[in-house]
A and B are shown apart, each in its own frame.
Chain A
């Protein structure tokens, strides 16, 4: 991985990002704005599952309202994330925070996609019965906490040394 990051950092695209100082903070700012869309979308869907908001809407209507914004923002996060990796390969790819974050992002996205598909596939009354189940409410809280932890891990990439020997990122 170390050799790969060294090779990547010498590619012309990576060098272009490195030599233009404004690129990284700009890409990070767009990344943060997109996190806002993801967190708020997940939050509103979870509130609906918990019965704390949007009770005049069905669950399917709620995911229909926020789902496209959620997946759109996730695409922006992926794009800006890739740009950050290209701009600073060693800082990202050697960081423990980065890989734990990627694992949780994949997990969180799969859960959200599976939930949306199950909602679409089942009869309308199904959502009424599942929102009454304690496991569904627990799932809503756990997924929200996972996304919050993902944001913390994102910030910890800049402080990866807090993981001690688990981190291989160069000290900034």
Chain B
């Protein structure tokens, strides 16, 4: 099946239809997406600010990571699930939206950035765990991480402003004003 077919079949799944037909489901998915992503951003910022030597500098890095990262991942899972469900309701539109694509790219870069940390400063963590800040490579990863996640937040909000939410219509109209207006 080609990509257009996959997108179409996602949109016609019963769960996508159920969300489109409901008054509350989509707003609730959006709300929990916001809760998940703000928790991801907020908890990652705690880690990044520690690496940069800006906050929690007197606590060992591994202790903070131990306190925080499990919640970051839990919040990330919530964000992915709610995001995927919203995607199915209007898959074709989101897939072709440039802000959506840019957001996915930044998420990929954030993942690569994390891998870079594991391969550089993360390997020598016993050596700088109690230092007030990470070595240069760790600081660079932290600064890039904060910028990438802020970028993800901005692009996410722009997706909302550049896509119309697919809604269940009892009487389908022939002309959609959004299609006529210049994008």
- On A, residues with C-beta under 8 Å from B are 24-26, 28-29, 32-33, 35-41, 43-44, 47, 53-54, 56-57, 65, 69, 148, 151-152, 154-156, 158-159, 162
Contacts and interface: CB of A to CB of B under 8 A. Distances in A.
Interface centre among B24, B28, B41, B42 (most CB of A within 10 A): B42
Interface residues of B, number: 33
Contacts of B95: none
Nearest to B41: A36
B117 interface: no
Contacts of A35: 34, 38
Nearest to A158: B27
A152 B82 CA distance: 14
Main secondary structure of the interface of B (DSSP, over half): helix
B87 interface: no
A151 B42 contact: no
B39 A36 contact: yes
Nearest to A21: B161
Nearest to B60: A56
A19 to B, nearest CB: 16
A40 B39 contact: yes
Contact of B59 (A32, A56, A148): A56
Contacts of B71: 43
Interface string B71-112: 100000000000000000000000000000000000000000
Given A25-B157, A29-B157, A56-B59, A39 B27 contact: no
B31 A151 contact: yes
Contacts of B136: none
Given A25-B158, A43-B42, A148 B35 contact: yes
B114 interface: no
Nearest to A54: B67
A53 B27 contact: no
Contacts of B30: 155
B27 A162 contact: yes
